[in-house]
Amino acid sequence: MTSPDTLIHLEHVSAGYGHDTVVHDVTLDIDAGTFAGIVGPSGAGKTTLLKVLLSTLRPQHGTVTRSPALRVAYVPQLETVDWNFPVTVGECVLMGRTERHLGAPSDRHTRSAWRPWPWPSSAERAAAAELLGRLGISDLTDRHIRELSGGQQQRMFLARALVRQPQVLLLDEPTSGVDVNTRHDVLHLLADLHDEGVAIVLTTHDLNGMAAHLPHLICINRHVVAVGTPEQVITPAVLEETFGAQLEVLQHLGMPVVVDIARLGA
Amino acid sequence: MIETLLEPLGFAFFQKGLLVATLSGALLGFIGVYIVLRGMSYIGHGLSHAIFGGYAATQLFAAQFYVLGAGLWGIASAIAITTVARRSRIGADAAIGVVTTASFALGVALFSKFGSSGPAFDQALFGSILGITNSQIMWLVAVCALTGLIVFFRYRALLFTTFDPDVAAASGVKVARIEALLMVMLSLSILVTLTIIGVTLVAAMLVIPAVIARMLTDSFGRMLAISTVTGSACGLAGMYLSYYAGVPSGTMIVLVGAVVFLVVLGISGVRGRRRAAGLDQHSDPRPRVAA
């Protein structure tokens, strides 16, 4: 551990599937104040890196250290689940409370003793209702998950993650497949959560809509290309190494805006 | 009407048969929800055939231990299937096809070679209400209780693993352990219902009540309840019809299930068909790996 605040520490990690190594030699710290975006093209290893952080993928080389009893929550890409599966929004959110003893000792919702039976306790129902209200989808609790729009499905997954009272929230492409308003809302919500002390790491390939608004970026293309603020890493040189394409960077209202010259010319 | 229902109850064998058929239907309907939603219907089908091999082998060498022998065989087959499907490059369907039909063929070969291809053979294939022993009833009741308890205490972990194994694993659920637990429950359920429903028909009773329930609800909890009730009702009605029609019990139970399915398909209309349409989308039981 490099610092007592460090929640997850990756040391020279390489990871992949079978004999293929997708990401090489990643050294990375996630601490309580982290609000970072992992940026890179498709196939760059963004999801692989997330799986290492989640500990669902064992690294091929290097070490992963987590602070003890760390509570991690994960919001997957929308297309990874079967939306025809028979669960209501309420049932889905409560899945986040499968391992129920993990609540923070200070929190009144999660502190209630572990109860083995299937139905939710009144405290769990209250916690779920509060989150759905905060995310603006409380009227959808008894709906089937397929009846939701993409933005509402994303909010439901966020509620399922947050009902775990996580210290670290990991999100895989949280704004792909959702409209501009939802993207805006998700960004604001994540900023609020960050202010409340939740460490946040997300993947994105959306430079202008997402990455430029985050305080910290990790650019990867099978290895870490650059790390820093958007001003530091959204530069033509870094972007060319990350995306393998020549991209122009303009300044607009104090923020970098990436323009694909090749595509503009076409 | 009342007499029609009461008359066969005068026979001890029918009382036992009715109890066993109702419990079997409930058990298979209950566990079938998980099997159908995971796209594992084919595993249920294969496993029942695999268990037949173990059943045949133990019938010959130590008939009184057939539950133990066939049970171990079934669990071994289940583990073999999941291991082959997960580790190697052979598709799960092919793995099931090889492992279980070979085991079934071995069972048929053992039965025909060593002569006991009489009632025991037909009973194992198509189910029978004759000759149900008290120990069979005890086994069935024990497996029902065990399955109920396991699902009661691991309800959310089973649901989460069935819906989204990747996120379940990321959320601290021991996915591999839960999946193994499910395979053991499935093997035991097939084993104890084998003689009443029959090897060739068990898979139908895993699938039919679950599909009927899926057409009627969008809630997982309600689907579990409806499927269990439907399964037990099919068992009960099928047993009476089997008595009056003189047809093997498993056959009649499955036919009743098929009729209920058609009726529900009719009354649930477009909505029911749409709900059931997605059930075969995940026919691959291997964990999804997104690169």
CATH number, domain of B168, equals: 1.10.3470.10
Question: Please, what are the averages of pLDDT over each run of 10 residues along chain A (266 residues)?
Answer: 79 91 92 92 90 92 90 90 92 85 46 66 87 91 91 92 92 84 88 94 87 90 90 87 81 79 57
Alpha carbon distance B31, A234 (integer Å): 53
Report residue B98 CA to chain centroid gap. 20
Residue B95 inside a domain? The answer is yes
The DSSP 8-state label assigned to residue B164 in this structure reads -
Interface pTM, i.e. ipTM = 0.86
Is residue B285 assigned to a domain? no
E strand or H helix at A225: strand A224-228
Note the helical H segments in chain A.
46-54, 89-95, 122-134, 150-162, 180-195, 230-233, 236-243, 261-265
Instruction: Give the pLDDT score at B135.
Output: 83
Task: Give the C-alpha separation, B20 to B6, whole Å.
Answer: 17
Closest among B117, B112, B103 to B47, alpha carbons compared: B103
Cα A153 to Cα A144: distance, rounded to the nearest angstrom: 11
What is the average pLDDT across B73-94?
Answer: 72
Residue B98, classified by CB atoms within 10 Å of its CB into exposed (0-12), middle (13-18) or buried (19+), is middle
Does residue B288 belong to any structural domain of this protein?
A: no
Chain B residues touching residue A97 (CB < 8 angstroms): 156
Question: How does the average pLDDT of chain B come out, rounded?
Answer: 83
Of A206, A207, A224, A213, which Cα lies nearest the Cα of A190? A213
B83/A contact by beta carbon, under 8 A = no
Mutation pick from B36, B159, B171 vs chain A, by most beta carbons of A within 10 Å, is: B171
pLDDT of residue B238 exceeding 70: yes
Same structural domain, A36 and A145 = no
Chain A segment 125-154 residues within 8 A of B by beta carbon are 144, 146
pLDDT: which is higher, B199 or B139: B139
C-alpha span between B263 and B261 (Å, rounded): 5
Of B257, B260, B229, nearest to B242 (Cα)? B257
Q: How does pLDDT run across B68-83, given as a tens digit for each residue?
A: 778 888 888 877 777 7
Report the run of H or E that residue A28 belongs to, with start and end.
Answer: strand A20-31
CATH of the domain at A158: 3.40.50.300
| Any domain includes B287 | no
Cβ pair A144:B282 closer than 8 A:
no
Determine the Cα–Cα distance for residues A204 and A25; give it in Å rounded to an integer.
21
Question: Does residue A2 share a domain with residue A66?
Answer: yes
Q: Is residue B291 part of a domain?
A: no
* pLDDT surpasses 60 at B287: no
B130 vs B36, higher pLDDT = B36
Asked if residue A172 and residue A153 are part of one domain, the reply reads no
| Residue type at position A266 | A
Is A235 within the bounds of a domain? Answer: no
Q: How far is CA A168 from CA A11, B61, B165, in A?
A: 18, 58, 20
Please tell me which residue of chain B has the smallest CA distance to A143: B218
pLDDT at B151 over 80: yes
The DSSP call for residue A144 is B
**What's the pLDDT band for B286 if we cut at 50, 70, 90?**
very low
Determine contact, residues A137/A155, Cβ cutoff 8 Å: yes
Q: Is residue B189 part of a domain?
A: yes
In this structure, the answer to whether residues A172 and A61 fall within a common structural domain is yes
What whole-number distance in Å separates Cα of residue B37 and Cα of residue B217?
13
Q: CB neighbours of A31 closer than 8 A, spacing ≥ 6? A: A3, A5, A6, A7, A199
Asked if B166 lies within 8 A of A84 by C-beta distance, the reply is: no
Helix (H) or strand (E) holding A23: strand A20-31
Look at residue A261 and tell me if it is in a domain.
no
Residues spanned by the domain of B39: 2-280
Q: How far is CA A185 from CA A74, A154, A174, in A?
A: 18, 11, 11
C-alpha B216: how far from chain center = 21
Q: Is A41 domain-assigned? A: yes
In a domain, A25, yes or no: yes
Please state, as a whole number, how many other Cβ atoms lie within 10 Å of the Cβ of residue B170: 23
- Which amino acid, B252? M
Compute the radius of gyration of chain B from its Cα atoms. 19
Same domain, A113 and A159: yes
CB contact under 8 A, A85 and B279: no
In a domain, A215, yes or no: yes
Half-sphere exposure of B217 (CA within 13 A, CB side): 16
Say whether both A174 and A60 belong to one domain: yes
Q: Helix B199-216 crosses helix B249-277 at what angle (to 10 degrees)?
A: 40
Angle at A147 between CA A146 and CA A150, to 5 degrees: 75
Query: B163 and A81 in contact by Cβ < 8 A?
Result: yes
Does residue B290 belong to any structural domain of this protein? no
For residue A1, count other CB atoms closer than 10 A to its CB.
Answer: 13
According to DSSP, the residues that pair with A26 across neighbouring strands are A13
Query: Does A7 share its domain with A132?
Result: no
Is A24 strand, coil or helix?
Answer: strand
Which range marks the domain in which residue A18 is found? 1-70+167-228
Residue B222 CA to residue A112 CA, distance in Å, equals 26
The reply to whether A143 and A31 lie within a common domain is no
Which of left, alpha, beta for B154 (phi over 0: left; psi -120 to 50: alpha)?
alpha
**Mean per-residue pLDDT, B103-111:** 82
Count of structural domains, chain B: 1
3-state secondary structure of B284: coil
Q: Does A114 touch chain B (CB under 8 A)?
A: no
User: Which residue's entry shows tokens 């501009």?
Assistant: A180
B223 vs A contacts (CB less than 8 Å):
86
A19 touching chain B per CB within 8 A:
no
Q: Which residue is closest to A43 within chain B, CA to CA?
A: B291
Q: How far apart are CA A38 and CA A210, in angstroms?
A: 11
Give a yes or no: residue A234 inside a domain: no
Residue A249 lies in a domain: no
Q: Collect all residues of chain B within an 8 Å Cβ-Cβ radius of residue A95.
A: 156, 159-160, 163-164, 168, 171
Do A96 and A220 belong to one domain? no
Return the pLDDT at B272: 81
Is A88 found in the same domain as A13? Answer: no
Question: What is the structure's pLDDT at B85?
Answer: 64
Nearest alpha-carbon partner for A186 in A218, A163, A209: A209
The terminus-to-terminus CA distance of chain B in angstroms comes to 62
Decide if B92 is inside a domain: yes
Are A4 and A121 found together in one domain? no
Q: How far apart are CA A116 and CA A110, in angstroms?
A: 14
| The model scores a pTM over 0.80 | yes
**Is A258 among the domain residues?**
no
CB A54, CB A220: distance < 8 Å? no
Residue of A nearest to B167 (CA): A74
What is the spatial distance between Cα B224 and Cα B11, in angstroms, rounded to a whole number?
33
Band (pLDDT 50/70/90 cuts) for residue B268 is confident
Measure the CA–CA gap between B44 and B187, rounded to whole angstroms. 8
Number of domains present in the structure of chain A: 2
